[in-house]
Amino acid sequence: MIFDSELWKRDLVSTSKKLVKLTAYSIWNETDYFRFEKLIMVAFYSIRKLRESGKLSNSTTSSKIAIKQFPSKGKVVHFYNAHNYLEYYDFSNPSIVKKDLAYFSNQIIHSYVFSPSFDYNDHGEQSLKGVHFNSDDNRNLCLYEMDVESLIESFNTAGKDYPAYAEYNYDERKQDYRIFASKSDPLKNK
pLDDT for residue 190: 58
pTM here?
A: 0.90
Per residue in 65-80, pLDDT (tens digit) is 999 999 999 999 999 9
Per residue in 35-76, pLDDT (tens digit) is 999 999 999 999 999 999 999 999 999 999 999 999 999 999
Q: CA 190, CA 187: separation in Å to the nearest integer?
A: 6
Under DSSP, is residue 126 helix (H, G, I), strand (E, B) or coil?
Answer: strand
pLDDT for residue 105: 95
pLDDT for residue 184: 82
Given a contact cutoff of 8 angstroms between Cβ atoms, the answer to whether 82 and 99 are in contact is: no
Domain ranges within the chain, ordered by starting residue = 6-189
